[in-house]
């Protein structure tokens, strides 16, 4: 909320600088010229002064308006919900079948935002490279990387069905899901 208020204040200040700069440039560039023939004098406009003074005011106003817009955009990005990663769709090769198998037909579930947050909480100390839905409902395949080690990602099978995400300890179920994953 504070970012939006600051953005609006900077936006208004930019327009004020813009308009008052042009008015000031107009006032500064006009002067009265007296001659012996005309005792009242004539008002003359010095265009080079007008463009020099108004140019700097316009530039300063645009900079303030630009900073306000950047703050507004960054606030919008901050408030935006994280993008959920869905299984990648690739073009099948000649060896792969276009018709999905029975196990793939049964996977009609989606990863919710809460499920994704559970995974991020489970692996808060590691970098998550990929989250994919498994062929069994309630399970995900997560590729993680330890931030202190060289590039060597680990593939984990995670159960997101409970109150919190857990690594799958059942070797039979884990191997079945990993076998399906490596066939993809």
Give 135-148 pLDDT, tens digit per residue: 888 888 888 888 77
Q: Which tokens go with 149?
A: 């080690």
Predicted confidence at residue 21, as pLDDT, reads 93
pLDDT at residue number 74: 86
pTM above 0.85, yes or no: no
Domain edges within the chain: 1-79, 113-183
Edge-to-edge strand order for the sheet containing 126-133? 126-133, 139-146, 154-159, 166-167
142 in Cβ contact with 178 (< 8 Å):
no
pLDDT at 77 over 90: no
Confirm if 87 and 100 have CB atoms less than 8 A apart. Answer: no
Q: How confident is the model at residue 39 (pLDDT cuts 50, 70, 90)?
A: low
Q: Which of 178, 81, 94, 166 is nearest to 132 (CA)?
A: 178
């Amino acid at each position: 909320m504070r970012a939006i208020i600051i953005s609006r204040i900077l936006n208004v200040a930019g327009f004020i600088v813009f308009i008052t700069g042009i008015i000031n440039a107009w006032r500064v560039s006009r002067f009265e010229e007296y001659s012996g023939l005309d005792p009242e004098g004539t008002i003359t406009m010095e265009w080079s002064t007008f463009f020099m003074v108004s140019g700097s005011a316009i530039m300063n106003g645009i900079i303030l308006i630009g900073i306000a817009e950047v703050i507004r955009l960054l606030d919008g990005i901050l408030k935006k919900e994280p993008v959920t990663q869905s299984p990648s769709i690739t073009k099948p090769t000649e060896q792969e079948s276009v018709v999905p198998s029975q196990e793939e037909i049964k996977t009609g579930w989606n990863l919710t935002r809460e499920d994704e947050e559970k995974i991020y909480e489970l692996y808060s100390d590691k970098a998550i490279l990929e989250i994919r839905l498994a062929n069994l409902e309630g399970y995900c395949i997560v590729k993680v990387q330890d931030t202190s080690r060289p590039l060597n990602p680990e593939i984990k099978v995670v159960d997101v069905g409970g109150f919190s995400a857990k690594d799958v300890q059942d070797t039979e179920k884990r191997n079945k899901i990993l076998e399906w994953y490596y066939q993809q």
